[in-house]
Amino acid sequence: MELRIPNDSEYREYLGDLSNDATLADLLRAEVTARGSCTRAAAVGRLQRALAGLVPEDTLRGRLSDLCRTLEADGDFSVSKGGFLHVSPVRAVVLDQTTHRVVSSLPTRVLGPQLPGSLQVEGTCRTHHLAPDRTDDLTLALEALGGVALTVDAWAGLERGPPADAAWMDNLAQRLQWHAESQGSLERDGALDWATLEFTDEGPRWRRRSDAPTRLWRARSPNGRWLFAWSASDQTPAGSDFVSLSDDDAARTVFAVARTEERPVQARIEHHGEERRLFIREWLPRAEYRFLAALGACEFIDRETVWSFVATRQEQVVSMLSERLGVGIKTVVAE
């Protein structure tokens, strides 16, 4: 029997609309699921080569990289040191009795048929709907998949992520007391170009030269990775003892410093009929990000993160951001 190689149009028909982020996101899920574990670069590179000639190559790698990081942030992939991606189990995040946000590395074409009800896909977000009398069917389906249903708070990990407040600032002081790193210890491969967080009329901004450093610093490492540090004085980590911060701790510290300085991070919510759109410039800590990711969809517009969700969830969103991060929120009714 002669082996026939599919042509480009047949590939496109099988793969779906490759101009759609939802299609590319599902191909990334399929790649990681098939491998079980692989580096981010390997997953993106293999898919880029597989789609060569089918998608404009000048934008493909950037799109795939951005989608991969979104899937990591959303929890569809588990991530370990060195940029390794791993399969993740099925989690059904309960939004209400009949609606769930589904998080898993399983691609939609595999996952959808195994769940009762319907699976709606928008970008990287997958929302599951079913009739109220079929909740037992969902429980059985999740058990068969080795999955679990979780509340939004439990999925986001709010109990494990402390609020960005004075207690968080005290925690940083304790880290300096117990685990301080020596000044200049990050500069063994050469001087780093440190920038500090500074408060402006437009909100917190990173500045290389500042008359009012906040002791929170960041710099690019020689390999391009961001380094974050909290220093013992107003000097950079090159001239002051410090503690290194993870990306997540640094994001939380931005909100904590803004809150304790009484210059809280600002956001706005726009009303568009029954839809609400939250605009915020600063990157959210992981727990708060996942909270919003469970409730709505995310996109990036002109350096702002824009979250879209239904009007009935506005109070829940505003309460979480103000209580946990001290965010000041302005409401605008679109014409």
Reply yes or no on whether the pLDDT at 11 is more than 80. Answer: no
Cβ atoms of 82 and 32 closer than 8 Å: no
pLDDT of residue 83: 83
The number of beta carbons lying within 10 Å of the beta carbon of residue 113 is: 8
Q: What is the pLDDT of residues 230-253, one digit of tens each?
A: 999 989 999 999 999 999 999 999
Q: What pLDDT does residue 20 have?
A: 84
What number of CA atoms fall less than 13 Å from residue 298's CA on the CB side? 23
How deeply is 201 buried, as exposed, middle or buried, from its count of CB atoms within 10 A (0-12, 13-18, 19+)?
Answer: exposed
Between CA 33 and CA 42, with CA 39 as vertex, the angle to 5 degrees is: 85
Contact criterion met (CB below 8 Å) for 285 and 164: yes
Per-residue pLDDT, 12:
57
Q: What is the pLDDT of residues 90-149, one digit of tens each?
A: 999 999 889 999 999 999 999 999 999 999 998 899 999 999 889 899 999 999 999 999
Exposure string of 152-182, with b = 16+ CB inside 10 Å and e = fewer, is beebbebeebebbbeebeeebeebbeeeebe
Give this prediction's pTM: 0.86
Question: How confident is the prediction for the chain on average, in pLDDT?
Answer: 90
Integer angstrom CA distances of residue 128 from 12, 86, 132, 260, 293 = 26, 23, 12, 40, 14
Mean pLDDT of 156-166: 92
Integer Cα distance of 13 and 169 in angstroms: 54
CA-to-CA separations, 159 to 77, 155, 288, 326, in angstroms, rounded: 21, 10, 11, 17
Give the confidence band of 44 by pLDDT, cuts at 50, 70, 90.
very high
Model confidence band, residue 4 (pLDDT cutoffs 50, 70, 90): very low
pLDDT digits (tens, 9 = 90+) for 249-305: 999 999 999 999 999 999 999 999 999 999 999 999 999 999 999 998 888 888 889
- 83 burial level (CB within 10 Å; 0-12, 13-18, 19+): middle
Give the rounded percent of residues in the chain with a pLDDT score beyond 90.
Answer: 70
Q: What is the pLDDT of residue 37?
A: 93
Q: What's the pLDDT score for residue 14?
A: 61
Confidence of residue 65 (pLDDT cuts 50, 70, 90): very high
Per the document, the length of the chain is 335
pLDDT score recorded for residue 116: 93
The predicted-structure confidence for 133-160, as pLDDT tens digits, reads as follows: 898 999 999 999 999 999 999 999 998 8
Do residues 225 and 192 lie in contact, with contact meaning Cβ atoms separated by under 8 Å?
Answer: no
